[in-house]
Structure 1
Amino acid sequence: MDQQRGRLTLVDALRGFAIASIMLLHNIEHFDLMHRPDGQPAWLTSMDRGVWDTLFFLFGGKSYAIFALLFGVTFHLQFGARAARGEAFRGRFAWRMVLLLGFGFVNSLFYQGDILSLYAVLAFSLLPVARLRDGAVLAIAALLLLQPAALVAIVEALPAPAVTLPDPASWAYFGRSTAYLAHGSLWEVFAGNLVNGKTGVILWSFENGRLFQIPALFMVGMVAARRELFAVSDASRRFWRRALPLAVAAFVVLYLVRANLGGWIAAEGLRRPVDVIVQSWSNLALMVVLVASFARLFLAGAPARWLGHLAPLGRMSLTSYVVQSLVGTSLYYGFGLGLYQVTGATVCLLLGITLALAQGALSAWWLRHHRQGPLEALWHRATWLGRPRPVLAPSAG
């Protein structure tokens, strides 16, 4: 296997894995329309609880993190390709992120939890670090992963740690969203998502440390690409082989710490920000476990053939993500089929698997006839508006 193409196939396949797992999570939570159907038999309710807990344990806070990590990888591939030709890419990348913000705006009309718009804004953090040395980039990423806002909250809580904190501000916004998602018209959903829902999502992302973790993962992904950790090579195999047990050990420790946090820190004023830090680190550790396991299987040789089936989905990640929102909200919301009323986590998991398989098959079919997905092609053309389009490299995405 050609090393460059192998690296790109691994990145695309891993991105496809993240997209598929995001699809499963979004389905079991009815695309943010939380509801448990009434009148189910006890065994199905118990199964729903098991499905919910298992999927959020495996993918909650991890799938989006994989997506963010690979965003940084793609940035390096694009930035490096232009630099090798002696061309500047900063201005064009900034314009590219403005375009991504536009895609995120459209996606946010349907689904308030859209991450494209967050990524588009936070991606500007890559521009000032793009030419820094790896050590400096990793130091900045480490500072962000320390969750500065949570650390400030801990310091502020020290004089009166036992104070009872109010509910997180995002909860009120999400509470109001249920009415229009369940019973509103399409236009009411659009208006509610853009004003109420988007505000809630930004607040929630801040409260849970994602506004710091996302740019940190962008930077880590950029450094990982610089060091060719996704290349098909003995060096990358050794790296992921060593990273896996370390990540497992870190996750076990952090999981146990979080499970016992309530007993160790009774004061809510301290416990809540500490929980944000520990949870973000725990999610990061399990994300590394997933990435290292995937990479080890892929780089083992034979498994690359069947894991490679995820690559078309990853190559069309923008189209896949937006289509998920259009289809999913039409299935579950009140303006569509309203399936939120009658589907629990088990049924939604089956629906999510079916939709992910269908999306993967459609992506493979599309890419047999086109170089890029439809939204990827539109994004690429608009990125290079005003100048002759460069020859597409396999890494474009």
Structure 2
Amino acid sequence: MTLTAAAPYSKPHQTSIVKIPRIEVVDALRGFAIFAIMLLHNLEHFDFYYFPQHLPAWVKAIDKGIWDSIFFLFAGKAYAIFALLFGFTFFIQMENQAKKGVDFRLRFVWRLFLLMIFGCINALFYEGDILSFYALLGVILVPVGKWNNKALLITAIILLLQPVEWINVINILNTPGYVIPKNLSDQYFSQVGQFMAGSSFWKLIKGNFLVGRPAVFFWSWENGRFFQTPALFLLGMLLGRQRRFLASEQNAQFWKKILMIAAVSFIPLFYLKGSMHQFVATEALAKKLSMIITTWSNFAFMMVLVSSFVYLYTKNAAKRVLNTFAPLGRMSLTNYIVQSILGTLVYYGYGLGLYQYTGATYCLLIGILLFTLQLFFCRWWLSRHKQGPLENLWHRATWL
């Protein structure tokens, strides 16, 4: 991906300050990510992996097809789109405040602290919360906020390469008998069903924080999220600096080019991640290389989704369809937390307990229903307010 030098930050003007307007395609893309996350979480019963055995064989066959399709399309990609746009939003905030002669970075630290609070509230219901994860890793944006584009791009590439995992690979190759660290997340995930299936909401809260959060923390480390996520933050900043989400023929060609590069890259990576054991005899080495390549494969397909979305958005017919997601994107914080509350209420034992009865087919239908309800609510709310309820609260608290 080629990113040329960015225009310098605008200097404050004594007579007028022009704020960067909302960019519709970003709202729509963020809403699409929320929709994809909703479908994934429903199929997973919001991290409660339970597969009903009483379903007919033909239903199980459909379930497998739906499960494989949704995970192929969105697993590891939906969250990545969210992370990319998180970095883009940071750039917009920095740019708007720079025009007023204000350095936004310290205020952003406070904003991350507020996001951590939102994440902790979300984690009361759903152990897989990413808001607190973004709040933690988002701190990297503070020291690099005014780096030049070249430094940002090099740093992002290094992070995407998964440097810690390559250290493990080198140790495996050079140290006979080297044993890779065990996945600590496994011992925690083996316990989550105990409190998710139970009828006590208090035990769910306790279990989410004492078991669920450590499980997700270790899983994120073991699967490269601690490096890929900040890399996506930086790339989102770069795309913002380049005004790549603005409508122009030059940007349309840019996204068309990214689509071709990402698609061509994805095909061999996807093949390799599932075939590594055929090429590498050592189990530990195959496992580590497969994990690294999986992160690259997910990144490549995420860019296929983003570039396709943004390029299609330049076409009027497609734009009208894609704008369906925009209200969800404008209220992404509210929607993300509300879907955790609704989803766990539907599937967990403290609520309806539908995890016992729903395979992927039923979960997909429930996910579409919940998405539709959220969409109608967002349209209704935004017809009366400029921001979603939690977005407004976050904004007001940011500027206390």
On whether the aligned pair clears a TM of 0.5, the verdict is: yes
1:91, distance to aligned residue in structure 2 (A):
1.2
Partner of 2:70: 55
> How far, CA to CA, are the matches of 2:62 and 2:182 in structure 1?
30
CA offsets 1:230-271 (integer angstroms, 9 cap, x no match): 101111101011111111100001011112211001212211
Partner of 2:204: 189
Percent of aligned pairs with the same amino acid: 49
CA offsets 1:313-338 (integer angstroms, 9 cap, x no match): 00000000000000000010011100
Q: Match for 2:290 among 270, 275, 282?
A: 275
Q: Match for 1:14 among 18, 26, 29?
A: 29
Partner of 2:92: 77
Partner of 2:385: 370
Q: How does 1:233-252 map to 2 (within 5 A)?
A: 233-252=248-267
Partner of 1:332: 347
Q: Match for 1:354 among 369, 385, 389?
A: 369
Residue 331 (structure 2) pairs with residue 286 (structure 1): no
Partner of 1:317: 332
1:380, distance to aligned residue in structure 2 (A):
0.5
> How far, CA to CA, are the matches of 2:111 and 2:24 in structure 1?
23
CA offsets 1:336-365 (integer angstroms, 9 cap, x no match): 100000000100001001111111111111
Q: Match for 2:158 among 118, 143, 148?
A: 143
Q: Match for 1:305 among 307, 314, 320?
A: 320
Partner of 1:100: 115
1:302, distance to aligned residue in structure 2 (A):
2.8
Task: Check the 8 A contact 1:162/1:268 in 2, yes or no.
Answer: no
> Across the two proteins, how many residue pairs are aligned to each other?
382
TM-score by length of 2: 0.93
Task: Check the 8 A contact 2:274/2:290 in 1, yes or no.
Answer: no
CA offsets 1:139-161 (integer angstroms, 9 cap, x no match): 00111001012111112212457
> How far, CA to CA, are the matches of 2:116 and 2:21 in structure 1?
30
Letter of the 1:354 partner, please give it. Answer: L
Q: Match for 2:394 among 369, 379, 384?
A: 379
Letter of the 2:260 partner, please give it. Answer: P
Q: Match for 1:209 among 216, 224, 227?
A: 224
Cα 1:185–1:227, aligned 2, differ >3 Å: closer, same or farther?
Answer: same
Q: Match for 2:52 among 34, 37, 56?
A: 37
Partner of 2:239: 224
Cα 1:92–1:103, aligned 2, differ >3 Å: closer, same or farther?
Answer: same
CA offsets 1:299-324 (integer angstroms, 9 cap, x no match): 12232122112111000000000000
Letter of the 1:112 partner, please give it. Answer: E
> How far, CA to CA, are the matches of 2:262 and 2:251 in structure 1?
16
Cα 1:135–1:351, aligned 2, differ >3 Å: closer, same or farther?
Answer: same
What stretches of structure 1 move > 4 A for 4+ residues in a row?
4-7, 160-167
1:127, distance to aligned residue in structure 2 (A):
1.0
Task: Check the 8 A contact 1:6/1:231 in 2, yes or no.
Answer: no
> How far, CA to CA, are the matches of 2:369 and 2:21 in structure 1?
28
Task: Check the 8 A contact 2:105/2:145 in 1, yes or no.
Answer: no
> How far, CA to CA, are the matches of 1:259 and 1:232 in structure 2?
38
> How far, CA to CA, are the matches of 1:351 and 1:195 in structure 2?
29
SS at the partner of 2:297?
Answer: helix
Task: Check the 8 A contact 2:106/2:142 in 1, yes or no.
Answer: no
TM-score by length of 1: 0.94
- RMSD of aligned C-alpha atoms? 1.5
Q: Match for 2:106 among 91, 95, 101?
A: 91
Cα 1:265–1:7, aligned 2, differ >3 Å: closer, same or farther?
Answer: farther
> How far, CA to CA, are the matches of 2:51 and 2:65 in structure 1?
14
The structure that is helix-richer by fraction is 1
